[in-house]
């Protein structure tokens, strides 16, 4: 876990989205800071010296072509990559100032704080209620059924799903539409009371109307959560995010205000990508 410093782009070791527009005032602290993150699947290097800072209660979008490392990178933030045999990380990841790869950190507790929404909605083959209650039960958040009902209701409301499912909480979650399933997965994450939500292409398998609903929801959630969203959809990144990071071949090419990235990128690669010249 030694930070590898001898790398060519030391200049961008730690970057904040404000770097190009100095006038941006930093109102909230940085929630996540990474320093020199290298990641390997066996011998193949998937991330090269990623250093960036993510601001609290902002939406940060990660864009880039398939295989550029953006999904791998968000999975290092809640240590989901720990589950992959032969995977190895170098560098530092700080959340709220705590090195999450330090020996004293329990990845289980980290994942309670850093929720994750996956590309393919993956509700448990249980009832709608039990899906949301899952995290409440395993974390022992509720003393009794009333408290648990309460958390389930609040989470479903926060995920803008309550009105659609309140009369059929005991029905199978698999009977919901794709968009509803994805919002259920969001509700399930919210029930664990995270600070950060990692979303790995949460709307890529959905129709435009369901996508719009999810985007609306993400915008709403921004008030209380720090959100990182990986997306292939450039319009989506432009619509909902405050900051955008562009990844290419495992490297962080550019990280800036979303408006800057999409109107006046400073790197040629970024411009080529967002104008659709490749990827």
Closest distance to another protein from the beta carbon of 171 (Å): 14
Residues 6+ apart with CB under 8 A from 257: 17, 18, 20, 21, 24, 242, 243, 244
Judged by beta carbon, residue 13 or residue 188, the one nearer another protein is 188
**Does residue number 156 form part of the binding site for another protein (CB under 8 A)?**
no
**Exposure letters 117-151 (e unless 16+ CB within 10 A, then b):** bebebebeeebbbbbbbbbbeeeebbeeeeebeeb
| DSSP-derived 3-state class of residue 222 | coil
* Interface pick for another protein out of 69, 91, 135, 202 (rule CB under 8 A): 135
Closest distance to another protein from the beta carbon of 174 (Å): 6
* Interface pick for another protein out of 115, 179, 202, 250 (rule CB under 8 A): 115
Q: Which stretch binds another protein (CB under 8 A): 1-9, 20-28, 188-196, 237-245?
A: 188-196
* Interface pick for another protein out of 3, 20, 139, 259 (rule CB under 8 A): 139
**Does residue number 177 form part of the binding site for another protein (CB under 8 A)?**
no
Q: Measure Cα distances from 103 to 2, 109, 161, 193 in Å.
A: 14, 13, 39, 24
Distance of CA 43 to the CA centre of its chain: 26
**Does residue number 185 form part of the binding site for another protein (CB under 8 A)?**
yes
Q: Measure Cα distances from 135 to 140, 154, 184, 191 in Å.
A: 8, 14, 13, 7
Q: Which stretch binds another protein (CB under 8 A): 8-16, 94-102, 135-143, 147-155?
A: 135-143
**Does residue number 165 form part of the binding site for another protein (CB under 8 A)?**
no
- Contact 109/95 with Cβ under 8 angstroms? no
**Does residue number 171 form part of the binding site for another protein (CB under 8 A)?**
no
The residues binding another protein (CB under 8 A) are 78, 80, 83, 85, 108-109, 111-112, 115-116, 118, 120, 122-125, 134-135, 137-139, 174, 185, 188-189, 192
């Amino acid at each position: 876990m030694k930070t590898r410093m001898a790398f060519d782009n030391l200049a961008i070791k730690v970057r904040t989205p404000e770097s190009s527009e100095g006038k941006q005032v930093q109102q909230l602290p940085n929630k996540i800071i990474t320093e020199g993150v290298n990641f390997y699947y066996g011998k193949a290097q998937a991330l090269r010296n990623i250093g960036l800072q993510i601001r609290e209660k902002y939406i940060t979008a990660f864009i880039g072509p398939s295989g550029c490392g953006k999904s791998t990178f968000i999975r290092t933030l809640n240590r989901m990559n720990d589950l992959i045999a032969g995977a190895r990380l170098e560098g530092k990841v700080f959340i709220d100032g705590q090195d999450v790869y330090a020996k004293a950190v329990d990845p289980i507790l980290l994942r309670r704080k850093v929720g994750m929404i996956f590309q393919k909605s993956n509700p448990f083959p249980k009832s709608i209620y039990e899906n949301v209650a899952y995290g409440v039960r395993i974390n022992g958040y509720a003393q009794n059924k009333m408290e648990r009902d309460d958390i389930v209701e609040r989470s479903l409301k926060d995920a803008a799903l309550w009105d659609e499912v309140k009369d059929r909480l005991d029905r199978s979650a698999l009977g919901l539409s794709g968009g509803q399933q994805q919002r259920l997965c969001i509700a399930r994450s919210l029930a664990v009371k995270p600070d950060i939500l990692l979303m790995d292409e949460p709307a890529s398998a959905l129709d435009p109307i369901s996508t719009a609903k999810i985007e609306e929801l993400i915008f709403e959630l921004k008030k209380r959560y720090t959100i990182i969203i990986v997306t292939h959809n450039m319009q989506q990144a432009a619509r909902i995010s405050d900051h955008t990071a562009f990844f290419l071949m495992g490297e962080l090419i550019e990280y800036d205000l979303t408006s800057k990235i999409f109107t006046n990128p400073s790197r040629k690669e970024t411009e080529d990508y967002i104008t659709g010249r490749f990827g």
